[in-house]
Amino acid sequence: MTASEDLDGKRLERTPLDHGGGRDVIGPREIAESGVISVQEVMRRTPGAFVSDESGSDSLANIGLRGVTSAEGVSRSTNVALLVDGIPISPAPYGQPGTALFPFTLERLHAIDIQRGGSSVRYGPNNVAGVVNFLTRPIPDGTMYEFGGRYDSFDNSSIYNALGGTYGDFGILFEQVYKSGDTFRQNGDYAIENFALKTAYRIRDDLRVLLQMESYADDSRLSDGLNLAQYQANPDQSTSLQNRFTGEQDRVSAKLEWDISDSLRAEVITYRYDSERTFFLGSPNFYGAVATFVQATPRPMDVWAIQPQVVKRFEFGEWVADLIGGVRYTEEDIVRRTERFFPNGTQTVTGDTEFEYRAASAFVESKFQSERWAITPGVRVEQIDIDALNRIGGAAPVEQDFSEVLPALSAAYFITDDWSVYGNAQASFKPPEASQIELSTNPQDISAQYAWVYEVGTRAQMYDKHLAWDLTLYQIEYQDLLERDPAQFDVFVNAGRARHRGVELALDADLSQITFEGFGAWASIAYNDSEYRSGQFAGNQVIAAMPWLASWGLRYTHAYSGLWAGLDGFYVDDAFTDRANTVPINAAANQGERPDYTVWNTRVGLRRKLSKSIELRCEVALRNLFDEKYFDIRPGGRGIFPGAPFSVGGQFGLNFSF
C-alpha cells in the first residue's frame, strides 16, 4: 500500500477501511508542510507514538509505540520494525534491530505507513509494537528536477537534489541529501550525506524489475546527557567533549515482478547491505569527572536476504480471496569490538565478539473479502540459529536455536460503505540481540521475547473522505521481557511478563467541505497502561511508558494564492526511568520521574505554480513557540537530555517538470 494525494491536493488516500488493525498513513502534503527537522518528529502525528531526540539532528532515531520500551527507554527504536520501501532499515534486523545507525533522511521521505497491529505475518520478528514503513518518492512519469534547501537559527542546514523520469519502459530517480549543523547544544555539530538511485524496467508487459541503491554516511559529535546540577546550571552545555559517532551504510535491493496470469503473480525480493558504526565515548557521566580514556565500539555488520513469494487470487461466489505465501532466508554477520584509547597514545582491546545469525522463515496469509467482510488468517514460522564467539576472552562459544510458530487472525466488517469495525489477534516475537548475548562469566537469560497482541476498533471515512476517524483498543501480553541489568554493564536480565493496554483515537478533517473554507484539522490522543506483571517490580509502570500522549494541528490554505499557515502541538505525559518507579530525580539524573510537557509550533508557507512546469515552495517555521523547558532522562548513567528551545527556520524549493 502506498500513500498519495488526489489532484486537488486536499484528500489523503487514507488507511483502507478493510484493514483489520490500528493503522495510519501520513501523506506527502502532511510531511512537506510539517515544519519538522527529522524523520522521527513526523511520527508524533500517530496516536501512541513517542519519540525522543538524542542528537538534535536526523541521526539516532528513538521511536516507541504503545509503551513497548526497553530498559533504556525507546533505546534507538529497538522495539518497533522500521522499513524503507518495505526493506528493513536497521543494520541487522535480527541481531541489531535498533537504529544506532539510522541510514535515512527527512528530505527523502514521501509518506509513512504505520501499522500498529495486524502485521506480524508479513514482516517477521520485532513487530510487537508495530511496523513503520517509510516510503520514498516514486519515480516520476515525466522528467523532473527538484531542488530544496533548509536553514534554521541553530545553523542546521540541508540541501536536496532530485532528478529523474520515465522513458518508455525505463524509469530512474536519483536523490542527493547533504545536511549539517551545530544543533542547539555544545559539541553537537554533525554532517550527514545520503545518496539514492531508484530504477524500474519493464522487460515485457508481464515482467518488471526494480533496483534501488543507497549510500549513507554520518559523522556527528554527541552532546550526551547531563547530571541534575549541570542541567540546572546550563542545559545547552556538554560535558562530553570527546563523544563522537560515525556510521556508514551501502545498501542495494532488487525486486522481480512476474504476472504469470490475471490471477497469479510471482515476486522475488532480495537485499544486501554493509554497515559500520562506531561510538567514541569519553563521557564524564560514564567515566568519572575526567575522562581517563575514550572508548570506541566499532560494529561492522553485513546482511543478505532473499524472499520469493507468490500472490494468487481465487473467487468463491461472492467471496474473493487473495492468497500470499513466501519464504525468506537471512544471513547476518556482526562483530562487536570494544577499544580504549588513552591520553599517552596507548590502546587496548577489551572486547571482540563475532555473531552469526541465520534465519529461515515461511509465511502464508489470505484475505477473504465479500461485500461486507474482510477476514485475514495467516501464520508465520521462524527458525533462527545464532552462533557467538568471544575471540579474546576465552569464554565458551554460544549456540542458540529458536523456532517459533506465529499465528494471526484479523477481520473487518463494513457497517456502511464508509464505516467499519475490526479486530485481530496475533503472535509476535523478538530473538535475542547480539548485545544481549554476553560471552563472559556474567549470567544471562537469553530467552526469545514473545507476545500476543489483541485489538478491536472502528474507523470511518465520511463526506467523500473529508472526515476520518479511527478508534482502537489494544492489549499486549509480553513474556520474557529482556532488560539491561542496572548493576552490570551490557548484561541483561529477564524481567518476566509485562502488559500493555490502552486506547487510541485519531481524527482528520477537511473543514472546507463542512463549514470553514480552506481549513483542515487533525488530532490524536492515546492512553496507555504499561506495567510489569511478574517479579520484584510487579505492578509498577514499565520504564519510559507514558500514560498519555496527544498531538493536534490546524491548517489554513488560501486556494487562489497558494499561501498556507499551520499551528500544531503535542503533549507528552510524565514517565519513570527505572523499574522501581523512583519519583525524585537523583543527582546523577539516571533515576526519577521525568515531568510532562507541551510544545507548540507554527509555520507559514507558499506553494504556487510559477508556470506550467515550475512550482515554488517556501516556508518559515517557529518551533517550540513558547520556549517550553523540557527534557528526557536516559537510564544507564546517561542523564538528562534537554529538549530543543525556541528556534526559527525556513526552507525553499523549486520543482521543474518537463
Q: Enumerate the domain spans of the chain.
A: 23-161+168-657
Q: How far apart are CA 143 and CA 165, in angstroms?
A: 4
Classify residue 57 as left (phi > 0), alpha (psi -120 to 50) or beta: beta
What is the reported pTM? 0.94
What pLDDT digit, counting tens, does each position of 321-359 carry? 999 999 999 999 999 999 999 988 899 998 899 999 999
**Length, in residues, of the chain:** 658
Q: Please tell me what DSSP assigns to residue 544.
A: T
The band of 441, judged by pLDDT with boundaries at 50, 70 and 90, is low
Which pLDDT does position 566 carry in this prediction?
96
On the question of pLDDT at 291 being above 60, the answer is yes
How do 244-261 and 294-296 pair as beta strands? Answer: unpaired
Diameter of the chain measured on Cα atoms: 80
- The whole-number average pLDDT for the span 401-429 is 94
Confidence of residue 283 (pLDDT cuts 50, 70, 90): confident
* Residue 571 pLDDT > 80: yes
Side chain identity at residue 314, one-letter code: F
pLDDT at 72: 60
When pLDDT is cut at 50, 70 and 90, the band that residue 9 belongs to is very low
Pairing label, strands 373-390, 319-341: unpaired
Give the whole-angstrom CA distance, residue 550 versus residue 597: 11
Contacts of residue 564, Cβ cutoff 8 Å, sequence gap at least 6: 33, 555, 556, 557, 558, 604, 605, 606, 607
Average pLDDT of span 429-457: 78
The percent of the chain in helix, strand and coil, each rounded to the nearest 5, is: 5, 55, 35
- DSSP H helical ranges for 247-317: 284-287
**At a CB cut-off of 8 Å and minimum separation 6, what does 464 contact?**
11, 513
Residue of 68, 50, 29, 115 lying closest to 564 (CA atoms)? 29
Q: With 50 as the cut, is the pLDDT of residue 6 above it?
A: no
Q: Is the pLDDT of residue 580 over 70?
A: yes
- Does 74 or 69 have the greater pLDDT score? 69
Consecutive H or E run containing 361: strand 347-369
Q: Quick one: which H or E segment has residue 163?
A: strand 157-167
* Highest CATH level, class, for 23-161+168-657: mainly beta
Q: Which residues pair with 145 in a beta bridge?
A: 163, 656
CB neighbours of 424 closer than 8 A, spacing ≥ 6?
20, 21, 117, 118, 408, 409, 410, 411, 453, 454, 455
Q: Would residue 463 be called left, alpha or beta, if left means φ above 0 and alpha means ψ between -120 and 50 degrees?
A: left
Question: pLDDT above 90 covers what percent of the chain?
Answer: 71
Handedness of CA 379, 380, 383, 388 (dihedral sign): negative
Residue 128 and residue 119: Cα distance in Å, rounded?
9
Mean pLDDT of 472-477: 96
Task: State the DSSP string of 164-221.
Answer: EEEETTEEEEEEEEEEEE--SSTT--EEEEEEEEEEEEEEETTEEEEEEEEEEEEEEE
Model confidence over 78-133: pLDDT tens digits?
888 999 999 999 999 999 988 889 999 999 999 999 998 767 788 878 888 899 99
